[in-house]
Amino acid sequence: MQKEISKKKIVVKDLNLFYGEFHALKAINMDIYEGEVTALIGPSGCGKSTFLKTLNRMNDLVEHVRVTGSITLDGNEILSDVDVVALRKRVGMVFQKPNPFPMSIYDNVAYGPRIHGIKKKSQLDEIVEKSLRAAALWDEVSDRLSKSALGISGGQQQRLCIARTLATEPEVLLMDEPTSALDPISTSKIEELCETLKKNYTIVIVTHNMQQAGRISDRTAFFLLGELVEYDLTERIFHRPRNEKTERYITGRFG
């Protein structure tokens, strides 16, 4: 299969994370492949979001966090002293609840490029249009770019957040349950988006929706109580899981 020979974008080795005394991630080993959609599944509280946030060092914001092990992005260690600003530019993140800034649609998308030093109006215009098109939102908002981003629908807001992230030209896109707050139509739009975006980006997505994982991901990782129980091609995870717990979870007979 072609998928199996694609390049390793992120390599996680023996990753442990502690919130104070609490051992939230236990000896995780995982390779994330370039140009694929990797889904993270597992029951609530198993550490999916925590794992996702180690990939762009958003865990730095939490007090009393301790991380051991290694994560490399294109072969470069990101857990030791790395420029987190540069890292987060390369590894973008979309959150569970759409969180557009209280400013215009245009300014939301231009936010990232602006803080990274782009000032020319024509250049910004170009980036904004390109990003909104990539997030399949351009046609819906092109006539009201100067209107507040808080005035559009939740599904549109989430796509705006995706556009905002794309505008900084990341290589990896982390999404934490990006559709859990959305209606079915918006959800399917974002799922389609994943399909097109993976041509240019490596996507890691957390989801509670088994069908969604099955539909959009190439590989699936099943987490349980801070451990990575099973990680394989999505097809295998869903049809021939090796671990009994994985099977029970996927078939909804868990707990």
Partner 1 sequence: MRRRRKMKDWILKSLIWFCSLLTVLFLVWMILYIVSRGLPGINWAFITTPYNLFRNQTGILPMIVGTLLLIVTTLAVAVPIGVAAAIYLTEYARQGRVVRMIRFATESLAGIPSIIYGLFGYIFFKNTLHLGFSVLAGALTLSIMVLPTIVRTTEEALLSVNPSYREGSLALGATRLQTLFKVILPSAIPGIATAVILSMGRVIGETAAVIYTAGSVAKIPAVDRLLTSSVRTLSVHLYMVALEEADFVSAFATATILMIIIALLNLLANRFARKITDRQGMA
Ligand X SMILES: Nc1ncnc2c1ncn2[C@@H]1O[C@H](COP(=O)(O)OP(=O)(O)OP(=O)(O)O)[C@@H](O)[C@H]1O
Contact partner, 44, from ligand X, partner 1, Mg ion, none, Cβ < 5-8 Å per class = ligand X
3-state secondary structure of 43: coil
Give 181-189's long-range contacts (Cβ < 8 A, gap of 24+).
181/96, 181/97, 181/98, 181/154, 182/154, 182/155, 182/158, 183/154, 183/155, 185/155, 186/153, 186/154, 186/155, 186/156, 186/158, 186/159, 187/155, 187/212, 189/136, 189/155, 189/159
Q: Does 19 bind partner 1 (CB under 8 A)?
A: no
Among 15, 24, 30, 149, binds partner 1 (CB under 8 A): 149
Span from 67-75, 145-153, 190-198, 231-239 in contact with partner 1 (CB under 8 A): 145-153
Paired sense of beta strands 227-233 and 219-224, if any: antiparallel
Question: What's the Cα-to-Cα distance from 159 to each of 113, 118, 140, 227, 234, rounded to whole Å?
Answer: 17, 22, 11, 31, 25
Burial 101-140 (b: 16+ CB within 10 A, else e): eeebbbbbbbbbbeeeebeeeeebeebbbbbbebbbbbee
Q: Does 150 bind partner 1 (CB under 8 A)?
A: yes
Q: Does 86 bind partner 1 (CB under 8 A)?
A: yes
* Nearer to partner 1 among residue 71 and residue 224 (C-beta): 71
Span from 40-48, 105-113, 142-150, 227-235 in contact with ligand X (CB under 6 A): 40-48
Among 15, 32, 41, 46, binds ligand X (CB under 6 A): 46
Both structure tokens of 99: 């969180």
User: What sign does the CA torsion over 55, 203, 121, 107 have?
Assistant: negative
Span from 45-53, 72-80, 98-106, 243-251 in contact with ligand X (CB under 6 A): 45-53
* Nearer to Mg ion among residue 55 and residue 149 (C-beta): 55
Residue 115 Cβ vs ligand X, minimum distance, rounded to whole Å: 26
Name residue, tokens 């030093």.
Answer: 117
Where in 18-77 is the site for Mg ion (CB under 5 A)? Answer: 49
* Nearer to partner 1 among residue 154 and residue 192 (C-beta): 154
Q: Does 50 bind ligand X (CB under 6 A)?
A: yes
Among 1, 5, 61, 185, binds partner 1 (CB under 8 A): 61
* Nearer to ligand X among residue 21 and residue 139 (C-beta): 21
By the criterion CB under 5 A, which residues form the site for Mg ion? 49
By the criterion CB under 6 A, which residues form the site for ligand X? 19, 22, 24, 42, 44-50, 62
